[in-house]
Structure formats: C-alpha cells, structure tokens
Amino acid sequence: MSSGGARPKVVVCKDLGPAMPPLLERKDVDIVVWPEDRSCERAWLLENIKGAAGVLVLLPDKVNQELLDAAGTNLRVVSTVSVGYEHIDVPLIGAERHTSWLYADVLTEAVADITIMLALMAGRNDGVAYTLVKNGEWCKPNLGWSPFTFCGPQLSTSLSSPTRTVGFLGFGRIAQATLSRLIPFGITHCIYTGSPTSQPDIARDDALQAKYNLKGLNRVDIDRLARESDVLFLLTPGGKETYHLVDAAFLRKMKPMSVLVNTSRGSVVDSDALATALREKWIWGAGLDVVEGEPAITSNHPLVKEPRCVMVPHIGSATFQTRLDMATLAIDNLIGGVFGGEMPAELKR
C-alpha cells in the first residue's frame, strides 16, 4: 500500500479502451496510465512504477528484477492482460516480493476460432489465392476454374480420404475447444502430447472419445505426433521447456500433405527449419498467429516469403468481446490484489 495513508497508486501500461471508465471513476486509487497508443516505454514504466501498489502489464512489458526494484516494497500485485506469462518472472515475484500475480483466462473460444481459420487458410492455399486476387491477377488466362489449380489438402473427411487425424502439441483448454470445433469436419482420430510431468487423464480421454464418437483419442509421444498428424495444432505454453520443440528433425517426420498451425507461442517453432520444411515440401502448409521474434517481422523474414505460410500478427484473442473481457478481468484482478480482496483470475502456483 502507499505509505502515509495516501491512496494506493496503480500503473496501467496501456489504455484499455472501453474497460477503462470503471477504473478511472474510482476515487480510492491514484491511476497512472501510459498516455500513448503504442507499447509502454520502459523508462516511463520504471519511473512511474515507483511506490506503486499495483501494475497492469501487457505481453511486451517485462516484469523482472529491474521492474520490481524500481517499484519498491509497496507492490502487491502484477496483473497481465494475457493468458501467457513468459514476460513475467513468476518465481521471482512469488518468492521475494510476496506479490500475487494474476492473469486473464477468458480467451479460449476466440483463440480456438482463429485456430480453425488458420488451419483452413493454410490447407486451402489462402496465402497464394488471396494475394493473387488482391493483385488483380485472377483474370490471367491460366487462372480460370480448373480441376486441380489451387488445390490443397482437405480438413474434413472425404470419399477418397475417410479418416483424418488431428494432433495437438499440448491438450489444454484451447486445444479441447479447438477439437470440439473440428468434430463437424468429420475428424476421426485425435492424438496429443501432454507435459512430461503430468499424468494421463484416461477418464477424460475416454469421455471425450465417446462424446465425439472418435475412432481414437490417444496421448502419444512427440515422435508419433509428428508422424501421424494430418493437421497439427501447437497449443502449448512457451518458455524453456517447449523452446523449438518443432525443429528440423520434428518437421522431417511430418507427412508431406500435413498442415501445421501455431496459435501458442512463436518460440515453440524453429522458424528457419519451418521455412525450409515449406520450401522443400516436407509439409504442405503453415498457419501462424505467432512467430519467434515478433513483432519485428518484415517482408524479408523467411516465413513471410513462403507462399504456403499464412501469417497473422498475434491476433488470436482479438475480438471486441474477448479483449473487453480480458481487460475487465485484468482490472478486477488488479484492484482485488491492491486491496487484498478477491482476485477472480489468480495464477495458481
């Protein structure tokens, strides 16, 4: 808390639009908001966080020793408008500062939606086809309707391909929400990897298999995941444990007609290896919402140059509804933490 009975200060690293009025109307906190429409400058944050009781951060705002030192001992809560927390040194916060850190977990459905979108776009040549139309090239003589032009692998089952296997690297909430969306496509098999430290949840898997009438739903090792997936969804947390799990060796094992979709963290994939895999046709296509090194991605990036790579700029949760929900929840966490009240989405450690 702020010393001397003053109102506690909270620092907000970005104007959260329609979620802000209830916060700004509060009379019991001093609110300092980064005033510009771009990521918060580090120097500004280090200066303004001095003496703060709470800070609300976004993915680009690193929460580390430097920031905690700048904040001082009043800091009670770090709230982030994200479900991912690679930008936050969680053990440091918990161990040294006795500070709660909170997260907003309301984006499952929005990310599952865009995951399906990217699977379809990457499989069905959207990068090539859309660019061509935008460039006014549809009218070219060889680009009228023809049987196999622009073809790609079908997500759903078909007469000639009656089984389809979807794979998940990570099988948490978003993966399961994605699977539920895939069922109407006639998906027959689902395989997934779990974290090495987690136990298989056989009862859950049996229930999901029965509910969705799948021919198989199995936890497998990473080698089998690579070899058997027709469409592979990366939905695992980032960080050291999953760094470059999808590398050249992994990609070499995948089916030539397979599609890879990453809506988790760019660090899970070795970008150079994926670009090679696309160029040399080890796999068919890739749909990416996240890329290592984002947002510093230019037209020279090896993946941007690949025609069968569809890339969007980390917009998985970018619906008006979900972003409002995320921002509101993060603010509720912030205020709850500052006053020692309820924190609706506290990270359980």
- Peptide bond before 295: cis, by omega within 30 degrees of 0? yes
Using the rule CB under 6 A, is 170 a contact of ligand DGY? Answer: no
Q: How near is the Cβ of 348 to ligand DGY at its closest, in Å? A: 17
d(CA 286, CA 259): 6
Show Cβ contacts of residue 38 under 8 Å, excluding neighbours closer than 6 positions. Answer: none
What is the bridge-based pairing of β-strands 189-193 and 165-169? parallel
Using the rule CB under 6 A, is 242 a contact of ligand DGY? Answer: no
Using the rule CB under 6 A, is 83 a contact of ligand DGY? Answer: yes
Reply yes or no on whether 314 is catalytic. Answer: yes
Using the rule CB under 6 A, is 262 a contact of ligand DGY? Answer: no
Residue span 90-119 as binding mask against ligand DGY, x where in contact by CB under 6 A, dash where not: -----------------x------------
Sole binder of ligand DGY in the list 12, 51, 55, 82 (CB under 6 A): 82
Using the rule CB under 6 A, is 194 a contact of ligand DGY? Answer: no
Write down the catalytic residue from 265, 301, 308, 323: 265
Q: How near is the Cβ of 94 to ligand DGY at its closest, in Å? A: 19
Using the rule CB under 6 A, is 238 a contact of ligand DGY? Answer: no
Among the listed ranges 33-41, 81-89, 144-152, 155-163, the one in contact with ligand DGY (CB under 6 A) is 81-89
User: Strand, coil or helix: what is 285?
Assistant: strand
Q: Give 219 or 323: the residue with its C-beta nearer to ligand DGY.
A: 323
Q: Are 245 and 239 in contact (CB under 8 A)?
A: no
Q: Give 152 or 316: the residue with its C-beta nearer to ligand DGY.
A: 316
Using the rule CB under 6 A, is 79 a contact of ligand DGY? Answer: no
Report CA Rg, the chain. Answer: 23
Cβ atoms within 10 Å, residue 86? 15
Q: In residues, how long is the chain?
A: 349
Show Cβ contacts of residue 183 under 8 Å, excluding neighbours closer than 6 positions. Answer: 212
Q: Which of 305, 301, 279 is nearest to 292 (CA)?
A: 301
Number of chain residues interacting with ligand DGY (CB under 6 A): 6
Q: Give 266 or 337: the residue with its C-beta nearer to ligand DGY.
A: 266
Among the listed ranges 20-28, 76-84, 220-228, 330-338, the one in contact with ligand DGY (CB under 6 A) is 76-84
Q: How near is the Cβ of 326 to ligand DGY at its closest, in Å? A: 7
Interface positions, 316-345, toward ligand DGY (CB under 6 A): 316-317
Residue span 269-308 as binding mask against ligand DGY, x where in contact by CB under 6 A, dash where not: ----------------------------------------
User: Strand, coil or helix: what is 269?
Assistant: strand
Q: Are 338 and 54 in contact (CB under 8 A)?
A: yes
d(CA 94, CA 74): 14
Vertex 108 angle, CA 177 and 308, to 5°: 75
Q: How near is the Cβ of 264 to ligand DGY at its closest, in Å? A: 8
d(CA 13, CA 11): 6
Q: How near is the Cβ of 82 to ligand DGY at its closest, in Å? A: 3
CA 238 to each of CA 70, 243, 284: distance values in angstroms, whole numbers, following the listed order = 27, 7, 24
Would you tell me which residues interact with ligand DGY (CB under 6 A)?
82-84, 107, 316-317
Catalytic annotation, residues: 265, 294, 314
